[in-house]
Amino acid sequence: MYKIVKKEELAANIYLMDVEAPRVAKSGHPGQFVIVKMDEKGERIPLTICDYDREAGTVTIVFQAVGASTKMMAELNVGDSFRDFVGPLGRSSELVETDVEELKKKSILFIAGGVGTAPVYPQVKWMKEHGVDVDCIIGARNKDLIILEDAMKKVAANVYVTTDDGSYGFHGNVNDCLKDLIQNKGKKYDQIVAIGPVIMMKFVCILTKELGIPTIVSMNPIMVDGTGMCGACRLTVGGEVKFACVDGPEFNGHLVNFDEAMKRQQMYKTEEGRAQLRESEGATHHGGCGHCSDEE
């Protein structure tokens, strides 16, 4: 059992939890994720690691209560436990694997949309710990949905907050803010990492491709099972079939077929859609061996 030692409501229906998971805390890296289950029959929920404390043996997760399972998670309190807390899974951030001295020569911007701020935070924190100064844009629909702003300001060189409705910070979406930084503030970036809703990452990549700025995205939002066996996170990257959970979750955003990914995401929500995907994709529907059972 994995005990919850801290719980905080960051915004309406968005929760942060610190969970006792020593082995995950010891080996986890920014960009990786965990799978949690509340009980033996509970749904498997993949969540990107928001932070970790190797000495305390705790891992921080952030989630939005939108479906039945995450709403049940939101009802858990300090002292309660998860049945399973599996990880770290997926590959660590590409930038974390890059030579630090090379990173110091680059001007890097992180773009965080909504709950995507949670997986951005550990990467920015890692950069700070290794002497790499980076900028960060945090975007949300309104002020009430901005999360981890204070924490991010402690680790980023500059934090730019933007809201769609103009209720806080810059008035506009993350793309509007990026264009303002480049066109009006004289900023130049060599690398961008964008994490948030799929539609947000799509339009960020359209803009950064026009600007000629290499961009990394995390396809964590399309994951369901987290092992490559369910086929939910199958996507096309540079013309090749990939699976977010086993090949990612991070990819070159300019090579991701976002329209296909969003269409599959909608189809996967229904039994009829899942059946159509299994039939049309055959052995490539699954990751791993590609020949496992069709049973859900």
CATH architecture of 2-89: Beta Barrel (2.40)
| Residue 294 reports pLDDT greater than 70 | no
Q: For residue range 19-53, what is the model confidence (pLDDT) as tens digits?
A: 999 999 999 889 888 989 888 777 888 888 999 99
Please, are residues 296 and 274 in contact by the beta-carbon 8 Å criterion?
yes
**Residue boundaries of the structural domains of the chain:** 2-89, 91-215, 219-296
In this structure, the chain runs to a length of 296
**Cα(157)–Cα(153) distance, rounded to whole angstroms?**
7
Which of 195, 221, 207 has its CA nearest to residue 66?
221
Class of domain 91-215: alpha beta
* 67 pLDDT higher than 50: yes
- Minimum mean pLDDT range among 55-64, 118-127, 147-156, 258-267: 258-267
Closest CA to 206 of 254, 268, 144, 152: 254
Q: Does the pLDDT value for residue 274 go beyond 50? A: no
pLDDT at res. 273 = 47
Tell me: pLDDT of 281 over 70: no
| CA distance linking residue 1 with residue 21, whole number of Å | 9
- Name the 3-class secondary structure at 250: strand
Distances from the Cα of 252 to the Cα of 66, 74, 100, 215, angstroms: 28, 33, 20, 6
* Interval 133-175: pLDDT, tens: 999 999 999 999 999 999 999 999 999 999 999 999 999 999 9
pLDDT grade for 89, boundaries at 50, 70 and 90: confident
